[in-house]
């Protein structure tokens, strides 16, 4: 019988890429999404027999257990995921991301799953002092988004401890790839550059552009998901990035557009670089897509 996966937030950028891959390897997928930022069009190429879409809100739903019944895997990706709106509306973020996660894990506990994967965030390291930053390094929660994602992770890991649940948390660094959000006011740098390039306007570079980020292509992220669900590992936290840092100026050069420098924004880290040795060692995974080829592929679409 086909394996069954539920993806909360499956209509979003990462969730829809994960859906594509799971369908390709023969899973039946249930997408659970309230479409606050996710889009129907991200999934419109799928057949109903492969992907069932349920419109519901994880923080309010009374039916999570029903949706999860019979699932082999749950990928919990649903979240409000922007920093500045979280500062303006922390309560909304808390309810959505923390209460939502609590409800997901509580319902998952009642059904018999093989693994639950949680989408945590490298924002838990704040403005790190140690590079590459490992899972053991200091947690520094400097905005409500980071706090909600980290509390979500703590809940997921406590449930793994207390109830022997097969939970895994991935701390994503900067993910990019097809269907990256390019329309939002607060979208991440590659999304911004894509939309600016498309509209033929200068690429806006924050500060002097020498700040660095660890960018990981969504296909590399998905390949780690697939390896981890097949592995024997449970109750683990893993960084997931490329293990390489790239400056914003370098990204702008790959885009090859005119540049415009804009003032720095408070609360953003100067540099970010993941130590990914734990994940590499445990599941024998490594990222394959270089930032140059990943961006060139995006630009050619
Ligand atoms: N993109 C990144 O670089 C990055 C980095 C770190 C962590 N993450 C995490 O990865 C996950 C996916 O992010 P993304 O970039 O694909 O963002 P996204 O906004 O494209 O996807 C989030 C999805 O969750 C859905 N959603 C939000 N609240 C919901 C709720 N209450 N009930 C049901 N559905 C809900 C949205 O409609 C959307 O489809 C998020 O949890 C985010 O915090 C992303």
Average pLDDT over residues 111-128: 97
CA distance 87 to 85: 5
List the one residue out of 19, 107, 97 whose CA is nearest residue 61.
Answer: 107
Q: What is the pLDDT of residue 239?
A: 98
**What percent of the chain is modeled with pLDDT above 70?**
99
Q: How buried is residue 89: exposed, middle or buried, by Cβ count under 10 Å (0-12/13-18/19+)?
A: middle
Average pLDDT over residues 108-115: 97
Say if ligand 1 is within 6 A of residue 175 CB. Answer: yes
Give the atom of ligand 1 at the shortest distance from the alpha carbon of 11. Answer: 39
Chain mean position to CA 142: 19
Rounded to the nearest angstrom, the distance between the alpha carbon of 12 and the centre of ligand 1 is 6
Rounded to the nearest angstrom, the distance between the alpha carbon of 11 and the centre of ligand 1 is 9
Confirm if 226 and 72 have CB atoms less than 8 A apart.
no
Q: What is the pLDDT of residue 215?
A: 98
For 160, list phi and psi in degrees, rounded to 5: -65, -45
CA distance 248 to 213: 8
What's the pLDDT tens digit per position in 141-152?
Answer: 999 999 999 999
Q: Which domains does the chain show, CATH number per domain?
A: 4-176+216-242+274-288 (3.40.50.720)
What's the pLDDT tens digit per position in 14-27?
Answer: 999 999 999 999 99
Please give the residue that has the higher pLDDT: either 134 or 182: 134
CA distance 237 to 169: 5
Q: Tell me the two tokens of residue 244.
A: 């390489």
Average pLDDT over residues 170-174: 97
CA distance 61 to 79: 14
Atom 2 of ligand 1, nearest CA residue: 175
Range with the poorest average pLDDT among 27-41, 148-162, 165-179, 257-271: 257-271
Q: What is the pLDDT of residue 182?
A: 84
Residue 159 has pLDDT above 80, yes or no: yes
Contacts of 21 (CB under 8 A, 6+ apart): 219, 222, 225, 226
Which run of H or of E encompasses 104? helix 100-109
List the one residue out of 202, 222, 118 whose CA is nearest residue 192.
Answer: 202
Which run of H or of E encompasses 6? strand 4-8
Rounded to the nearest angstrom, the distance between the alpha carbon of 97 and the centre of ligand 1 is 10
What's the pLDDT tens digit per position in 232-287?
Answer: 999 999 999 999 999 999 999 999 989 999 998 777 889 999 999 999 999 999 99
| Ligand 1 mutation pick, 51, 64, 79, max ligand atoms within 8 A of CB | 79
Rounded to the nearest angstrom, the distance between the alpha carbon of 268 and the centre of ligand 1 is 19
Say if ligand 1 is within 6 A of residue 79 CB. Answer: yes
Rounded to the nearest angstrom, the distance between the alpha carbon of 258 and the centre of ligand 1 is 31
Residue 184 has pLDDT above 70, yes or no: no
Cα-atom radius of gyration of the chain, to the nearest Å? Answer: 18
Give the three-state DSSP class for 9: coil
Give the atom of ligand 1 at the shortest distance from the alpha carbon of 78. Answer: 24
| Ligand 1 mutation pick, 19, 32, 36, max ligand atoms within 8 A of CB | 36
List the one residue out of 107, 150, 106, 94 whose CA is nearest residue 126.
Answer: 150
Q: What is the pLDDT of residue 265?
A: 78
Atom 28 of ligand 1, nearest CA residue: 79
């Amino acid at each position: 019988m086909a394996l069954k996966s539920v993806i909360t937030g499956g209509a979003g950028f990462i969730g829809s890429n994960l859906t594509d891959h799971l369908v390709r390897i023969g899973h039946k997928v249930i997408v659970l999404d309230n479409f606050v930022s996710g889009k129907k069009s991200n999934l419109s190429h799928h057949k109903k027999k492969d992907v069932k879409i349920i419109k519901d809100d994880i923080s309010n739903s009374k039916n999570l257990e029903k949706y999860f019944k019979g699932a082999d895997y749950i990928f919990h990706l649903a979240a409000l995921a922007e920093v500045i709106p979280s500062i303006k509306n922390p309560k909304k973020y808390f309810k959505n991301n923390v209460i939502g996660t609590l409800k997901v894990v509580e319902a998952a506990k009642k059904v018999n799953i093989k693994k639950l994967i949680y989408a945590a965030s490298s924002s838990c390291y704040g403005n790190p002092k140690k590079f590459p930053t490992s899972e053991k390094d200091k947690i520094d929660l400097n905005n409500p988004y980071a706090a909600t994602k980290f509390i979500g992770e703590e809940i997921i890991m406590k449930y793994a401890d207390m109830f022997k649940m097969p939970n895994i948390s991935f701390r994503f660094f900067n993910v990019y790839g097809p269907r990256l959000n390019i329309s939002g006011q607060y979208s991440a740098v590659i999304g911004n550059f894509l939309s600016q390039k498309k509209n033929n306007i200068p690429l806006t570079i924050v500060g002097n552009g020498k700040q660095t980020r660890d960018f990981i292509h969504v296909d590399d992220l998905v390949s780690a998901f697939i390896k981890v669900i097949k592995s024997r590992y449970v109750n683990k936290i893993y960084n997931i990035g490329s293990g390489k840092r790239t400056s914003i100026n370098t990204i702008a050069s790959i885009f090859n557009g005119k540049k415009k420098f804009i003032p720095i924004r408070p609360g953003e880290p100067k540099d970010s670089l993941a130590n990914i040795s734990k994940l590499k060692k445990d599941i024998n995974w490594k990222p394959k897509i270089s930032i140059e080829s990943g961006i060139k592929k995006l630009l050619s679409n």
